[in-house]
Amino acid sequence: MQHRPLIGVIACERQVEGETAQAVKHRYLEAVERFADAVPVIIPSNQPEANAAEIVTRLDAILLTGSGSNIEPRRYGSATPPQAPIDRGRDGFGAALIHAAIAAGKPVFGICRGLQEINVALGGSLRDMRSETERVPHHAPSEASLDDTFAFSHPIDVASGSILQRFALSEALTVNSVHYQAIDRLADGLVTNATGPDGVIEAVSALNTAAPVFAVQWHPEWRPEGRPHDLAFWNYLGEAARADYLPAAQLEKNA
């Protein structure tokens, strides 16, 4: 029987029946199983950061999901007041998982908030787009239905020779857009794989890591059937977890 990799999926803090709980939306877990051909394992974020290294040794890859919460600005050296909702447990444990996985040579993948977490953990910063009213919006109106929220989309330009271009097989894609925060200063060691309207960074990958670190700002887990580039994201995650991954292209190594 072929080995199916274990992919750790980080959880978020939520209120359930009046109590604090840990939760992951089913669509992330289902995408890992259906499209990455892997076994999802939920990682609670309400635990000591020192546990991250031990957890990582038992997994084949880490997935940092999207979330409604915002990363606290103090995490990237900003004095800007945080905008609710926040999730301090995920902020801290997510960063610990990223560092532990990179140190152990395990793949790290991120979606939306996950992309932002990777950038912050590696020394980059974010900006909040809600105050940038003159820019192209990257989120549907707050009153939009769930379907309309994820139908909100825009084109992106894919960097030639990037990891994204190599597995998506295109230099122009249309992706959904459901985010209020975005990368401001790109962390050292990361390279841009795609940009959207107003130059917003839409995908990143890492240089000089033993296993791939890759993240996108959109949501490939939202009904990916019929979108080859989103299915390719999950295929790449599965390949990476099996150690059959795409190494950084020479163009990226020299960036």
User: pLDDT tens for residues 68-123?
Assistant: 999 999 999 999 998 899 999 999 999 999 999 999 999 999 999 999 999 999 99
- Biggest alpha carbon–alpha carbon distance for the chain: 55
Separation CA 200–CA 41 (nearest Å): 31
Helix then strand then coil, in percent of the chain rounded to 5, is 35, 25, 40
Task: Report the pLDDT averaged over residues 124-151.
Answer: 77
Task: Return phi, psi of residue 14, to 5°.
Answer: -140, 160
Task: Report the pLDDT averaged over residues 156-183.
Answer: 94
User: pLDDT tens for residues 203-250?
Assistant: 999 999 999 999 999 999 999 999 999 999 999 999 999 986 555 554
- Among the options 112, 117, 202, 229, which is catalytic? 112
Q: How does residue 251 score in pLDDT terms, banded at 50, 70 and 90?
A: very low
For position 146, what pLDDT does the model report? 87
Do strands 12-16 and 181-183 pair parallel, antiparallel, or not at all (unpaired)? unpaired
Separation CA 164–CA 36 (nearest Å): 16
Per cent of the chain over pLDDT 70 is 91
Superfamily for the 6-253 domain: Class I glutamine amidotransferase (GATase) domain (3.40.50.880)
- Among the options 138, 154, 179, 219, which is catalytic? 219
Q: How does residue 177 score in pLDDT terms, banded at 50, 70 and 90?
A: confident
Determine which of 115-119, 150-154, 157-161 has the lowest per-residue pLDDT on average: 150-154
Would you call 49 exposed, middle or buried from its count of C-beta atoms within 10 A (0-12, 13-18, 19+)? middle
Kind plus residue range of the DSSP H or E element containing 157: strand 153-158
- Among the options 13, 72, 202, 221, which is catalytic? 221
Residue type (1 letter), 93: F
* 12 is annotated as an active-site residue: no
Q: By three-state DSSP, how is residue 165 classified?
A: helix
User: pLDDT tens for residues 137-147?
Assistant: 677 677 788 88
For position 245, what pLDDT does the model report? 58
User: pLDDT tens for residues 9-33?
Assistant: 999 999 999 999 999 999 999 999 9
Separation CA 229–CA 170 (nearest Å): 9
* 221 is annotated as an active-site residue: yes
Q: What is the mean pLDDT of the chain?
A: 91
Ramachandran bin of 164, using left for φ above 0, alpha for ψ from -120 to 50, beta for the remaining angles: alpha
CA distances in angstroms from 130 to 150, 163, 231, listed in the order given? 18, 30, 30
Separation CA 234–CA 47 (nearest Å): 28
For position 250, what pLDDT does the model report? 47
Would you call 45 exposed, middle or buried from its count of C-beta atoms within 10 A (0-12, 13-18, 19+)? buried
